[in-house]
Structure 1
């Protein structure tokens, strides 16, 4: 796994950090641990617990539904978007296969995007700039609005 810490939340660059994970079940707990550690210096006002839960769900989905004939990775990136925290999870799966489900009470799976939809201020999915799929979410009011110098 590789990770990067970038800039102050009010710097010109909105990028805050990223992780590259192997598509294995162990990477879900690594993503939770490392995100907590890497976001801490920015002291976001939004719920880090909520963010970690949503990252966990999206990394799990990326691992389960990513598809490639070659070796591949799951990429997690987070950035500032205005006063919101934006998180993107990239995998080599098919963008059209991402959909919000309404599972029955006795279904064991299918609640990941439902959690994202209920907790995040917004979420979206589509083609990734790395190829494959990106699913992203935003948590509102992570920082005060940055003012130009």
Structure 2
């Protein structure tokens, strides 16, 4: 079931927004729409289109590469950190499997992290606090100082 949440409990700073999505292809467009809808009240100065593209790529990767014997969801959260925007995408995959590739021109896949690396100020992957993997990116100067 899709869900928008606004709290983070005792796990650190509350996100500006969060969503829980089923691991299905239609979740990619849903993630873009929800992010646009829920980031707008925060009035970011960064390109919402660029952020939506990066979220699309990471949600696609989460759906494509996550592995679990149990039912699972993709979690997307975004945070304001000073003037920066940090977005996290969580899935039950293995952190060691996240790799930046340099695909050939004829390859039909493998450009997601390359786009993230090109557009975001920085990105990171590692163990998720939910179990599995988190891939995050930071967009600098998302809000004025």
Which has more radius of gyration? 1
Structure 1 length-normalised TM: 0.91
Distance apart, 1:81 and its partner CA: 1.2
Regions of 4+ moved over 4 Å: none
**How large is the RMSD of aligned CA atoms in angstroms?**
1.0
1:63-102 CA-partner distances (Å, limit 9, x unpaired): 0011111000000000011210000000000000000000
Distance (Å, rounded) in 2 between the aligned partners of 1:15 and 1:77: 6
> How many equivalent residue pairs?
139
Q: Which 5+ residue runs of structure 2 have no aligned equivalent?
A: 8-12
Distance (Å, rounded) in 2 between the aligned partners of 1:133 and 1:3: 20
Equivalent residue, structure 2, for 1:51: 51
Structure 2 length-normalised TM: 0.93
- Contact 1:102–1:111 under 8 Å retained in 2: yes
Distance (Å, rounded) in 2 between the aligned partners of 1:82 and 1:19: 22
Equivalent residue, structure 2, for 1:10: none
- Contact 1:93–1:132 under 8 Å retained in 2: yes
